[in-house]
A and B are shown apart, each in its own frame.
Chain A
Amino acid sequence: MSAPSGIDASFAGRTYPATRPYEVGREELREFAAAVGATHPAHTDPVVARALGHADVVAPPTYAVKVAQLADRQFVTDPAAGIDYSRVVHGEQSFTHHRPVVAGDRLVSVLHVDAVREVRGTAMVTTRNEITTEDGEPVTTVVSMLVVRPAG
């Protein structure tokens, strides 16, 4: 049943299958870190990262959004969900790191649509991505709230 925002609220509570493994590479982390001004050598030098107790070079704190976005696409680009991306504004974002993402990780994400609320035609959609290694070790929980403005 579609609300004035066009979004199908019955998607709330839905859980999607785990995404295919995403392999995190050292050079990708180097590029991401440089793009956000993250200059700490633990992003680029495995020796420094290991001295701090990490298995390999570490990702900046918001890097996991890349992995979450891939999983989110299953929902936000599903025509049946009714989300018009040109009307989407990012409302809130949070990361809980059970441990830092490091190079060499093979990450999978399980997407949960936690809530779809609508107030006067504006919808608020909350998704949660539980990112783990392929073996199921918890890595990061990523919660995103998208605001979908009314059409017109």
Chain B
Amino acid sequence: MSSTADDGTTVAPRPTFEAAAVGDALPPRTLHVTRADLVRYAGVSGDRNPIHWDERFARSVGLPDVIAHGMYTMALAGQVVADWAGDPGAVVEYGTRFTNPVVVDHERGADVLVEGAVAARDEDTRTVRVELVVTSAGAKVLGRARAVVRLP
């Protein structure tokens, strides 16, 4: 898995709560996912379901091909929020629905596009809610993906 911010930047200053406004866009990111990435994630996560690395098995249970772990896609998308926040410990809530699988081709892998924006601010907790749009091959792969982030 490799990642490049679409605007070419890699490091941004931490946003402050005062400066964060509803509608602010997070730097979008396109992530390239390969079978090797899924094998690696299977190893570190303990989720060794063969639908994530064995094409023959995946097809035998009715899937189009090997698919990424939903938790892997969720982790990749969450990284966009953590990087924007400048502190991975600032993500206090993170949730999603898994609406479509990320299908990972043997040769070409898959691309996952992550976009996000600030959708709400909470003055009492000094947190913002970020909503993410995560797509692959034109399909929305995460639904209602949102994170609550505490900002300095």
Interface residues of A (CB under 8 A from B): 28, 31-32, 35-40, 42-43, 49, 52-54, 58-62, 65-66, 69-70, 85-86, 89-97, 99-100, 143
Contact = CB atoms under 8 A, between A and B. Distances in A.
Contacts of B37: 35
Q: Is the interface of A mostly helix, strand, loop or mixed?
A: mixed
A90 B98 contact: yes
Contacts of B30: none
A92 B95 contact: yes
B71 to A, nearest CB: 6
A90 B61 contact: no
B151 interface: no
Given A37-B76, A38-B82, A93 B93 contact: no
Interface in B48-89: 49, 61, 70-72, 74-76, 78-79, 81-83, 86-89
Among B37, B71, B147, find the residue whose CB has the most chain A CB atoms closer than 10 A.
B71
A36 B75 contact: yes
A98 to B, nearest CB: 8
B94 interface: yes
Contact of B96 (A89, A93, A99): A93
A97 B98 contact: no
A61 B41 contact: no
Given A40-B88, A58-B88, A93-B71, 13 more contacts: A37-B3, A37-B75, A37-B76, A40-B87, A42-B87, A42-B88, A54-B89, A61-B94, A62-B94, A93-B74, A94-B94, A97-B89, A97-B93
A86 B58 CA distance: 10
A37 B81 CA distance: 12
B102 interface: no
Interface of B: 1, 3, 31, 37, 40-41, 43-47, 49, 61, 70-72, 74-76, 78-79, 81-83, 86-89, 91-98, 147
29 contacts: A32-B45, A35-B44, A35-B45, A36-B41, A36-B76, A37-B1, A37-B31, A37-B75, A37-B76, A39-B83, A40-B83, A43-B88, A49-B89, A52-B89, A58-B89, A59-B88, A60-B75, A60-B78, A60-B88, A61-B75, A61-B78, A62-B94, A85-B49, A89-B98, A90-B70, A92-B97, A93-B96, A94-B94, A95-B94
A97 B79 contact: no
A10 B82 CA distance: 39
A39 B102 CA distance: 23
